[in-house]
Structure 1
Amino acid sequence: MASSDLVRRIVLLVVLCVSGGAMAQTGQDTSLVERGRYLATAADCVACHTTDPAKPFAGGVSIPTPFGQIVAPNITPDPDTGIGKWTDEEFYRAMHEGVGRNGENLYPAFPYDAFTKLSREDVLAIKAYLFSLPAMSQDNPVSELGFPFNQRWILSGWKLLNLRKGEMKPEPAQDDAWNRGAYLVEALAHCGTCHTPRDFSMGSDESRKFGGGAVGSWQAYNITPDPVSGIGDWSDDELVEYMRTGMVAGKGGAAGGMGEAVEHSLSKLPEQDLRDIVTYLRAQKPVRDPADEKPRHGWGAPSEDVSAFRGDETGDDPDGRAIFYGACSSCHGMAGAGTDDGEFPPLFRNTVVGARQANNLVMAILEGVHRTVDGETVSMEAFEHKLTSAEVAAVSNYVLKTYGNPAGATVDAAMVDELRRNAGEQPLVAKLAMPGLIIGVIVILALVFWLLTRRRRRSLR
């Protein structure tokens, strides 16, 4: 064999080895990015980290809390305004320990108490996906929280009480469906962040796990298998349909944060994932609210009152009937029965109108309903700037008394004003923070005064 042929064959062999290795690496990278895309979708990262659809994950969403506004950061790979300079270890620490790149505590509006359960491989797959996206340069406003909650060091105390660090491991005694559902519910989809009530420290109240919580002014309903307060009388297919489309006939539709979760996350998951979620939720402890008489979708019947067109001449308060027939009946029907095609749901046997708390009904009137799934858009007009708080209260009470749970018909203008702020009920820790701080300062000053007085007396002896 000529030496030149031998050289050519050696060069060809080297090229094939190098290119083969590069192709294998590219295949691995693509697989990792696709895994990360799926995980980021299941975690609904886009909901909190996207304000402008043209700049996905660039942050800027203002999250209302009882302590102030928390602004979600830019998580694109931009090196200056995003996470482009973050290492794998820094990203993992943020997800698992709630610690930022500079060692600062992160606010738990970022649900790292759930994400700590993610495996290291999945955390780094999410990072790989985010780093595959275009870098978006976007400076976002800083979070605005009142003192002392703007002091991040106090979150060390919150973590001590509420953060249980550690990756989630499969339960050997449970089947694959249960374990997959547990990982989705507890870690990735962080369902408990919204659907579990909070205790005095704003940590999850595990004694009422999945028993219903609050997200700003919206209520996240009970998703335990209790047949009255929870989802116990929903079929598996109905629960899957609700997560896939945001709507189940005879039950109701998703709005607010749940509508966003359906649009951006749940509707994009494989059906098996949704069924695994159902499997896991079915296995949870039922949580019953003693005040609930029957399921939320069990209230109401068609009702038509044409006398409403004459209005209420008995007083100066807004007439809820007249407002309903003027602003609502054109879509929801004269008898509140909705439309035959389901585009506008009936108001009776509706999980929102049948709730004892009127929050979600009021918020739907104020903010409207907007979700798009598989190209189909469901939209309800927002009346935030068209109706006064007194008018919103009047029509809410009329709808609750006529089509739903009359126990919720206690809405007044002050309540609507509070819900408009969308900050949620102030927890005990927030109510006591400033008085406690003042008392602490007084005690410290009294102690200092006592010590100085004692020292002065000793010097006079």
Structure 2
Amino acid sequence: MSFLRAFAFFALTALLVTVVLVLKPGARETGSGPLAAETMSEAELVERGAYLALAGNCASCHTAAGGEYMAGGLAFETPFGTIYSTNITPDEATGIGAWSDWDLLNSMRHGMRANGDHLYPVFPYTAFTQVSNDDAAALYAYLQSIPAVARENTVNEVSFPFNQRPLMAIWKLLFFTPGAYEVDEGKSDEWNRGAYLVEALAHCSACHTPRNILGAEKASAHMAGGEYFDRVMPDVYKPWSAPNLTASSRGLGAWTTEDLSAYLQTARNDFLESFGPMNEVILHSTRHLTAEDVNAMAVYLKSLPGVEPSPVSEPDTVVMGRGRTIYNLHCGTCHLPTGEGDPEMAPRLNRGSLVVQAENPASMINAILYSPEAPRADLPEKWREPMEEFQYILDDEELAAVATFIRHSWDNRAGPVTPEQVARQRWE
């Protein structure tokens, strides 16, 4: 569906929904007393909230580069325009200092501001809706305890009609079901804890699930891989592809629970080292969680049924031959002719590389063009030499050929990469 057809669909839906439905206040919850259970002290709430903020990776989105902690201003590029994260420090004029704990719950559970405005789902309330009342209260206590920062929120740059917040009532009617997480009695406590962390607090599906033309996650392809915009160079944003996290043979099927736990805790395992936007998830969130919580997340993710990518066409033999030549010239020394990699030189490209096997090659192209960004400075270097960037060495056809060769050689069976896909990722 094209953008114009999506616009027409959205406009038609708006006409079909009554004015009362569109303009009436959204669902809100209220209470006569504190949101948290009475058994929790303020100090306990703050401590618990600090941990939950790490699990939700709040700082990565609400702290701009060079900005003050949780003061907002980070830009999110979307198909509908640029949306900026908000100030969630306890400043009463520009932050959430005037909010109650119930106001914070309603933002997370129902996607509503304290003044009744609808929030855009760039703030992932579609996942946060599952956060429990006690955890919302703990998050509130923690956010009220951090230093207040007086910083006006940056005005969003969203195109018409998507800049009309009342229309979000229609979007919610179509795509959003609010409600706290419900325990699956047929599963273990560990599985339920992992499900709660992955689906609610960590909101993994926000990146790892494909979206429809109106920006809603496709339930039929839950965790099967998504696309989003993020930084490839300073002030340059391009698409990234989040890989398939289901039990697909081209997803987590080749990883063990231990592989996944190691990756979330250390940014490394026997398959690869983290790079790109996933660095922030690990460095600012999962590596700070307890080993029990990380393992629970791994147990839950490994239980997801496989969602297989679309069938792929066989690459052109000439392209494969050209790609093999380029690979042997530029890649084979470190990654080895077999694609198995070397413990000191480079990660494996065969078997278990979710980025190589992804249906969408955007992240793989970014890694080749701009070089994978190391996860953090305080880790000892994993590879003897960092991978060089090839944006000035290979043209679009050459890079497409070598990416196609890697994605369809050895045990890999991902689809061809086109020069047009490469051109889309270049910053020039």
Shorter chain as denominator, the TM-score bin is 0.7 to 0.9
Residue 425 (structure 2) pairs with residue 419 (structure 1): yes
Secondary structure in 2 aligned to 1:277? helix
**What is the Cα deviation at residue 337 of structure 1?**
6.7
Q: 1:248-275, CA deviations, whole angstroms, 9 ceiling, x for partnerless residues?
A: 22x3333333222111111111111122
Give the residue type in structure 1 aligned to 2:264: M
Match of 1:221 among 243, 252, 271: 243
**What is the Cα deviation at residue 158 of structure 1?**
0.8
Partners of 1:329 and 1:69 lie apart in 2 by 40
Secondary structure in 1 aligned to 2:252? coil
Per the alignment, do residues 370 and 37 of structure 1 end up closer, same or farther by CA in structure 2, a change over 3 Å counting? farther
Q: 1:7-60, CA deviations, whole angstroms, 9 ceiling, x for partnerless residues?
A: xxxxxxxxxxxxxxxxxx9x9222211100110111111111112366221111
- Whichever of the two has the greater Rg, that structure is 1
**What is the Cα deviation at residue 367 of structure 1?**
4.7
Secondary structure in 2 aligned to 1:69? strand
Correspondences of 1:288-367 after superposition (within 5 Å): 288-291=308-311, 325=330, 340-341=343-344, 344-349=346-351, 350-367=353-370
Correspondences of 1:360-439 after superposition (within 5 Å): 360-372=363-375, 375-376=378-379, 383=389, 387=392, 391=395, 394-401=398-405, 408-412=415-419, 414-420=420-426
Secondary structure in 2 aligned to 1:369? coil
Give the corresponding residue for 1:29.
42
Secondary structure in 2 aligned to 1:148? coil
Give the corresponding residue for 2:4.
none
Asked if the contact 2:250/2:358 (under 8 Å) is kept, the reply is no
Point out the more displaced range, 344-353 or 128-137.
Answer: 344-353
Partners of 2:199 and 2:172 lie apart in 1 by 18
Residue 164 (structure 2) pairs with residue 148 (structure 1): no
Asked if the contact 2:275/2:375 (under 8 Å) is kept, the reply is no
Give the corresponding residue for 1:170.
183
Give the corresponding residue for 2:264.
243
**What is the Cα deviation at residue 81 of structure 1?**
2.4
Correspondences of 1:102-113 after superposition (within 5 Å): 102-113=115-126
Asked if the contact 1:398/1:409 (under 8 Å) is kept, the reply is no
Give the residue type in structure 2 aligned to 1:341: E
Asked if the contact 1:267/1:373 (under 8 Å) is kept, the reply is no
Amino-acid identity (%): 36
Partners of 1:354 and 1:173 lie apart in 2 by 33
Asked if the contact 1:396/1:411 (under 8 Å) is kept, the reply is yes
Correspondences of 1:96-107 after superposition (within 5 Å): 96-107=109-120
Residue 51 (structure 2) pairs with residue 41 (structure 1): no
Q: Which runs of 5+ in 1 are unaligned?
A: 1-24, 294-302, 309-319, 423-461
Task: Give RMSD over aligned pairs.
Answer: 3.3
Q: Which runs of 5+ in 2 are unaligned?
A: 1-37, 230-238, 314-321
Point out the more displaced range, 372-381 or 157-166.
Answer: 372-381
Per the alignment, do residues 100 and 352 of structure 1 end up closer, same or farther by CA in structure 2, a change over 3 Å counting? same
Give the corresponding residue for 2:302.
282
Give the corresponding residue for 2:27.
none
Partners of 1:143 and 1:336 lie apart in 2 by 45
Asked if the contact 1:329/1:336 (under 8 Å) is kept, the reply is yes
Per the alignment, do residues 247 and 117 of structure 1 end up closer, same or farther by CA in structure 2, a change over 3 Å counting? same
Match of 2:254 among 233, 245, 248: 233
Give the corresponding residue for 1:316.
none
Partners of 1:50 and 1:279 lie apart in 2 by 30
**TM-score w.r.t. structure 2 length?**
0.75
Q: 1:267-295, CA deviations, whole angstroms, 9 ceiling, x for partnerless residues?
A: 111111122112222333321225269xx
Partners of 2:102 and 2:399 lie apart in 1 by 53
Partners of 1:289 and 1:221 lie apart in 2 by 11
Structure with more helix by fraction: 1
Give the residue type in structure 2 aligned to 1:281: L
Per the alignment, do residues 253 and 215 of structure 1 end up closer, same or farther by CA in structure 2, a change over 3 Å counting? farther
Asked if the contact 2:47/2:142 (under 8 Å) is kept, the reply is yes
Aligned pair count reads 366
Partners of 1:363 and 1:402 lie apart in 2 by 15
Q: 1:430-460, CA deviations, whole angstroms, 9 ceiling, x for partnerless residues?
A: xxxxxxxxxxxxxxxxxxxxxxxxxxxxxxx
Give the residue type in structure 2 aligned to 1:259: N
Per the alignment, do residues 365 and 74 of structure 1 end up closer, same or farther by CA in structure 2, a change over 3 Å counting? farther
Give the residue type in structure 1 aligned to 2:355: V
**TM-score w.r.t. structure 1 length?**
0.70
